[in-house]
Amino acid sequence: MAAPLEDPAAGVLRTDNTRLAADIDNYAEVTRDAAQADYAEHHMGIRDALRIHKKAIMWSMVLSAALIMEGYDVVVIASFYGQPAFLRRFGVLNPDSGLNIIPAPWQSGLGNGSSAGGIIGLIINGWASERFGPRRTYIVAMLGMIISIFGPVFSQSLKALVASEVVCGFFWGVFQTLTTAYASEVCPIVLRHYLTAYINMCWGIGILLSSGVVRATLTINSDWGWRLPFVIQWVWPVPLMVGAYLAPESPWWLVRQGRHEEAEHNVMRLTNAKLFSPEDARKSVANMIHTTAIEREMQGGTSYLQCFTGIDLRRTEIAMMVFAIQLLSGENLIGQGVQFFVQAGLGTVASYDINIALNSMFIIGTIASWFLLYRWGRRTIYISGLVIMATVLLIIGALGFTSSAGAKWASGGLLVALNFAYNSTLGAVCYVIIAEVGSTRLRAKTIVLARCAYQLTNIICGIIVPRMLSPTAWNWGPKSGLFWFGSAALSAGYCWLRLPETMGRSYGELDILFENKVPAWRFRDAKVDQFGLPDKIAPAPAQRPSDEKHAPVHDEKQE
């Protein structure tokens, strides 16, 4: 469909728009409108984008708040492994120490229960969100969440608690990917990385809340010491359902359904009517129509099977590996922070205090990632993050060979540094990459498969990490850092060879780059023309200069 990259006459990857005539009514007009919208989006400064698309930012943040709920819910169970009230109810006596512990196999079951349920929820979400739309899928999943929370609140045994985590995980799986896809579809290129990376901050806010709540309930000696953190889960669903009901539907989804007028209406709901006219909305939707037609021409089908065929196979592989590498980088040690600190010899209260500092890095690190993403590309940040994490893990592993108090506190401090490095690079940038690397027609399913890869890796890590840290199993303690150093180093090698740079690219440009099998290290510099218009014809301004109401806002162009 596009000219080869090595074409000496052009040196530009182009698309033959005449082949799209069968898919697009009035394709010449649509292509010209799409080119103008694309030109305006590529040349939009951050200040312009914030003023024009502030409603889209708000709605994206509202729906992404589901990840605050999920971050809290998923992580709170792991925070109980050192809580006295929880250990009295569910713990098993350790004959060596005389204290109650949660055995490593049960820790694996509790952690993997939500992952197993999440995989089922993810797969159903990939179908349901495309069939019924993101909003309706979101609302129904929230209703299911309200019911499923009864399970962990009233569990009286480890078996019942594991079963409850499986059921809750089913609904958590829906929110893990739906919010990422929505954020990537409602905002322009210049804001895309901020809102997709913000999803990582939502996780962090939930995780920080869970660590604070569990820390506050340490002094409650009854079952309410562990029940109250579960009960708080009921705070989230109702306001989030109301937000989803009021939010505009994704215009990209409406275009894929052939509902172009509704898509234009929703684009207006997502933008500032004083700065973005109905004509601008029409051109924006034309760009969506054009991109969707390019993808349909390249390769038809929207099933899960399609994700593993043709050019989509490479895109799916990258998304799945990038998400799995979140865990392969050694991040799973952070998720076991409390137990890691306890096994390192710190007291219970001190361990929970450090855990709060540890989890605050999700927020601080994500804010740092915004500054990095403004200046550097996704590929550079991701690979650099892996190198930094591998170095820190090597030091933590080396400290495991000494039992001094200073070494134990140093290990705790380095784990906090590791979490900052993770969230300012891999943790936040991962969501940006998976939102951009898949085609628009398969985006929901590509993100679902990526998250499934994460969950499968999480299940494996959920089996081995508790055994690494448990005194009744392998008892590696901080020495576990050496294992994850090797894993992080290998992951960096993979990313160097396979991870492309998607910064500043429209979805149509990415389609053409993947269609032409451009190597990962050439994505940044490759020239792309997705519209095939003559070079001498420059797209007209999106707004009418004579119309004061819709006059464009002047701002410096983002680098």
Total domains in the fold of the chain: 1
* Torsion angle defined by CA atoms of residues 396, 398, 403 and 405, in that order, rounded to the nearest 10 degrees: -40
Mean pLDDT of 422-446: 92
CA 172/CA 141 separation, integer angstroms: 8
Task: Tell me whether residue 450 is exposed, middle or buried, using C-beta atoms within 10 angstroms of its C-beta: 0 to 12, 13 to 18, 19 or more.
Answer: buried
The verdict on residue 530 lying in a domain is: no
Tokens of residue 153, six digits = 């609140």
The verdict on residue 506 lying in a domain is: yes
- Between the ranges 6-20, 291-305, 323-337, 375-389, where is the mean pLDDT highest? 375-389
The verdict on residue 555 lying in a domain is: no
Q: What is the pLDDT of residue 14?
A: 67
Amino acid at 88: R
Residue 509 has pLDDT above 70, yes or no: yes
Residue 196 has pLDDT above 90, yes or no: yes
Q: What is the pLDDT of residue 250?
A: 94
Q: What is the pLDDT of residue 446?
A: 93
Q: How confident is the model at residue 479 (pLDDT cuts 50, 70, 90)?
A: confident
**Higher-pLDDT residue of 207, 432:** 432
Residue 545 has pLDDT above 60, yes or no: no
Structural domain span for residue 369? 38-520
CB 377 within 8 A of CB 364: no
**Higher-pLDDT residue of 129, 219:** 129
Tokens of residue 316, six digits = 């799916």
Least confident range from 196-210, 509-523, 528-542: namely 528-542
Residue 259 has pLDDT above 90, yes or no: yes
Q: How confident is the model at residue 74 (pLDDT cuts 50, 70, 90)?
A: confident
Q: What is the pLDDT of residue 269?
A: 96
The verdict on residue 457 lying in a domain is: yes
The verdict on residue 536 lying in a domain is: no
State pLDDT tens for residues 240-250.
999 999 999 99
Q: What is the pLDDT of residue 21?
A: 65
Amino acid at 534: P
The verdict on residue 207 lying in a domain is: yes
Q: What is the pLDDT of residue 70?
A: 80
Q: What is the pLDDT of residue 15?
A: 67
Q: Which residues are CB-neighbours of 44 under 8 A, at least 6 positions away?
A: 52, 188, 189, 190, 558
Tokens of residue 61, six digits = 């943040």
Q: How confident is the model at residue 103 (pLDDT cuts 50, 70, 90)?
A: confident
- Between the ranges 7-11, 94-98, 176-180, 439-443, where is the mean pLDDT highest? 439-443
Tokens of residue 33, six digits = 């409108």
Per cent of the chain over pLDDT 70 is 87
Phi, psi of 15 (to 5 degrees): -115, 140
CA 554/CA 541 separation, integer angstroms: 13
Residue 94 has pLDDT above 90, yes or no: no
The verdict on residue 543 lying in a domain is: no
Q: Which residues are CB-neighbours of 28 under 8 A, at least 6 positions away?
A: none
Average pLDDT, the chain: 83
The verdict on residue 432 lying in a domain is: yes
Secondary structure element (H or E) that encloses residue 99, with its range: strand 99-101
Mean pLDDT of 235-239: 90
- The CATH number of whichever domain residue 226 belongs to comes to 1.20.1250.20
Mean pLDDT of 339-365: 72
State pLDDT tens for residues 353-409.
777 777 788 889 999 999 999 889 899 999 999 999 999 999 988 887 877 777 777
CB 210 within 8 A of CB 76: yes
Mean pLDDT of 11-30: 70
Residue 287 has pLDDT above 70, yes or no: yes
Q: How confident is the model at residue 8 (pLDDT cuts 50, 70, 90)?
A: very low
State pLDDT tens for residues 482-501.
999 999 999 999 999 999 99
3-state secondary structure of 493: helix
Max intra-chain CA distance, the chain: 83
CA 329/CA 377 separation, integer angstroms: 19
When computed from its CA atoms, the radius of gyration of the chain, rounded to whole angstroms, is 24
Mean pLDDT of 412-436: 89
Q: What is the pLDDT of residue 541?
A: 44
**Higher-pLDDT residue of 416, 501:** 501
CA 12/CA 408 separation, integer angstroms: 56
CB 58 within 8 A of CB 195: no
State pLDDT tens for residues 148-170.
999 989 988 889 999 998 998 88
Tell me which residue of 7, 42, 17 sits closest to 516, measured CA to CA.
7
Residue 95 has pLDDT above 80, yes or no: no
Q: What is the pLDDT of residue 550?
A: 37
Question: Angle CA(346)–CA(347)–CA(350) in degrees, nearest 5?
Answer: 85
Task: Tell me whether residue 312 is exposed, middle or buried, using C-beta atoms within 10 angstroms of its C-beta: 0 to 12, 13 to 18, 19 or more.
Answer: buried
Q: What is the pLDDT of residue 536?
A: 37
**Higher-pLDDT residue of 417, 333:** 417
Q: How confident is the model at residue 346 (pLDDT cuts 50, 70, 90)?
A: low
Task: Tell me whether residue 116 is exposed, middle or buried, using C-beta atoms within 10 angstroms of its C-beta: 0 to 12, 13 to 18, 19 or more.
Answer: buried
Estimate to the nearest angstrom the gap between the alpha carbon of 156 and the chain centroid.
Answer: 34
